[in-house]
Amino acid sequence: VDIFANTFIIAGMLFAYNIQQQGRLKDYVLFGVMLGLGAACKISSLPFAGAAVIAACLHVLKKNDPLRRNFVLVSAVKGLSAAAVVSFLVFRIFQPYAFSGPGFFGIIPDSNWIANIREIGHQQSGEVDFPPALQWAHRTPVIFALKNMVVWGLGIPLGLAAWAGYFLVLWESIQKKKSRYALILFWVMAFFLWQSTNNTPAMRYQLPVYPFLALSASWLLHCLWQTARGMPRATLFK
């Protein structure tokens, strides 16, 4: 399910980025569609909803005029509400097993589905004796996941370039006090730390940050290429 969920999460990040930049209602709606599809594939995709909230906050904070900011704030609340409604409807359609039914409007959560989700949570947390989970015992938080990602998930050349590129983008954003990539930078670090400190730090759980790390690596390589040719290094911001 991780591959399918990741597809919708990454697509959702595109619309979240558009929310940060433009705040259009259609981007909120499309984000809600992707969130609902992602959650239908894997219920742990639900925290991804926070990306829209952060994007909306960044969009509102960009406005310096108080009257304009209040107007944008109201629009953001409407957009987030629309995203929530749409994501629920999409989830209701594509994950019918989560509801007791019998018709479309039977939206009471199914007790068996809830029990299954809780059981999986207990197995992953180590609260119950689950043999496949024994492999995660005595793993160093963050370090274990980072090593797996760099050595095996991305491969050493891409892995090192990806994280070096990430911190290059972060440094340039802080240095120039720009928030254009704040959403993506926050998403990568927050999601990585969340998954790498879990009791089950499986490498596939980090898939939602791989595309952005790959983009960071491409930026680093671009900068190195320009430096090698004796050209002024490009900047992320005009």
Alpha-carbon distance 79 to 64, whole Å? Answer: 20
Which pLDDT score is estimated for 129?
Answer: 82
Q: Over range 74-88, report the average pLDDT.
A: 97
Mean pLDDT value of segment 144-160: 96
For the cut 70, the answer to whether the pLDDT of residue 132 exceeds it is yes
What is the largest distance, in Å, between two alpha-carbon atoms of the chain? 68
User: pTM to 2 decimals?
Assistant: 0.91
pLDDT at 238: 65
CB 73 within 8 A of CB 56: no
Q: Which amino acid appears at position 210 of this protein?
A: Y
Q: Which of 87, 108, 110 is nearest to 37 (CA)?
A: 87
If we measure between CA atoms, which residue out of 48, 62, 50 comes closest to residue 20? Answer: 62
Q: What is the per-residue pLDDT across 214-227, written as a single tens digit (0 to 9) for each? A: 999 999 999 899 88
Beta-carbon neighbour count of residue 126 at 10 Å? 14
pLDDT value at position 231?
Answer: 79
Q: CA–CA separation, 35 vs 187, rounded Å?
A: 15
- List CB contacts of 26: < 8 A, sequence separation 6 or more: none
